[in-house]
Amino acid sequence: MKQLLELLEKNTDFQKQPPLTSKDAILAQKSLVHAGLSSLPDNFMSFLKIYNGLKSNEGTVLGIYLRDDLLDIVTFNKNHNASLHRIILGYDTFNYLVFDTHQHKYLLIDRTDGVETDEFLSDETESALCSILHL
């Protein structure tokens, strides 16, 4: 994760949201579960505590309780996700970055046809995020 954070710190192309507070993290997990969605993986939550969402022309990582519904993970999943065991964490022009709680993997899912295009183990959060952000 350290390399990703160093890249992001130097890169000015990203709109970086302020860190997630512990209180909002707990509230978001409860909101997701209450909405019938999966909770967020721990490694991803750790990332949000540094950057609570990112956006560039290349890709987006969703955050928690952001004013823009296209960046808020709870609202975005309520509007775009019908899966109980998958949660959308980010997107680019072609793919969604999803965490599958049954497989314990990050998946890149084609936005058009729903086909899995790549996968990352649950401890490969950095690689999954780099993939959707095109870093």
Distance CA 10, CA 111 (A): 29
**Strand ranges across the sheet with 95-100:** 15-16, 54-55, 59-61, 86-92, 95-100, 105-110, 116-121
Q: For residue range 84-130, list pLDDT tens digits in order.
A: 789 999 999 999 999 999 999 999 999 999 999 999 999 999 999 99
pLDDT in tens, 52-85: 999 999 999 999 877 777 788 888 988 888 787 8
Domain CATH code at residue 54: 3.40.1580.10
Structure tokens at 97: 């970055």
Q: Which domain holds residue 85?
A: 2-133
Q: What is the number of domains present in the chain?
A: 1
- Tell me the pTM: 0.91
